[in-house]
Amino acid sequence: MAETLQNPNPNISAYYQTRAAHHGVVTSDWLAQAQAAVGHDPDDLPPERSSKSNDTGKSFSVIDEFNNWRKQPDLAEAVAAVRALASVIRSSEATTMMELEIELKKASDSLKSWDTTSISLTAACDLFTRYVTRTSALEYEDFNSAKSRLIERAEKFGEISYKARKIIAMLSQDFIFDGCTILVHGFSRVVLEVLKMAAQNRKLFRVFCTEGRPDRSGLRFSNELAKLDVPVKLLIDSAVAYSMDEVDMVFVGADGVVESGGIINMMGTYQIALVAY
């Protein structure tokens, strides 16, 4: 059964891999649908049909721009989307605000359709559009001034998104005390930054990482912690309840945060929260 659940295609997103493990059935038709949903390999993507020429004469593609930002290992996918959308405004040849907003929406839709299973990507595009274009002052300015203000707001939003991880890590340090045990589920750059800063502050703690089947994100996370000389123990996902009596706190990432305050994270987060409670 374990061999049946393992996804042979590494390009399938973690969401579909988790669904495969959950349902226990993987067929060639199902994998084809999953591959179509997440898109093709970034290197094989054709230029956008609606691309514009930038100042260098080359055709601009928001997908290519997005993938260039994604090559930075410390940059989250959502922040890469924000940077790419900011470049759309900067390279736009629109002459009216209506044209610019339409162009920005098309670019946002292209990014969201690039991986329809990525909640963080969709949320970043929607938040960017709402943050950048929501200003009544634009209605009373000439277009060039309005475009400059949009670029300014876009760059500011990108900086806020990029610095948020450091701010969260700083604010989290008061919760980590010497001798505590932390359970981590999934691979979150924010959680890694929190623990990295705690290790740099010479706090003494240990970490339990769930294995995170089927993409084994917990194994990758535990390897990163090992590089920081943090004591780490890898747990199979079904051992969470057994080990919870040793745990002082649980850290997880968030692909999305809903208005009620709840979070959307990888499969298994809900049951871990119930056990922790």
pLDDT digits (tens, 9 = 90+) for 144-163: 777 888 888 778 877 887 78
DSSP secondary-structure letter at 174?
Answer: G
pLDDT digits (tens, 9 = 90+) for 247-257: 999 999 888 78
pLDDT digits (tens, 9 = 90+) for 154-211: 788 778 877 888 899 999 999 999 999 999 998 988 999 999 999 999 999 999 999 9
CA distance 208 to 49: 47
179: nearest Cα among 202, 196, 204, 199 = 204
What b-and-e string marks burial along 131-162, b requiring 16 or more CB atoms within 10 Å of the CB? bbbeeeebeeeeeeebbeebbebbbebbeebe
Question: What beta strand segments (E) does 186-226 contain?
Answer: 205-210
Question: What beta strand segments (E) does 186-271 contain?
Answer: 205-210, 232-235, 249-252, 256-257, 263-264
Q: How confident is the model at residue 86 (pLDDT cuts 50, 70, 90)?
A: confident
Write down the domain spans for the chain.
62-164, 176-276
Of 1.20.120.420, 3.40.50.150, 1.10.443.10, 3.30.1340.10, which CATH number belongs to 62-164?
1.20.120.420
| Fold (CATH) for 176-276 | Rossmann fold (3.40.50)
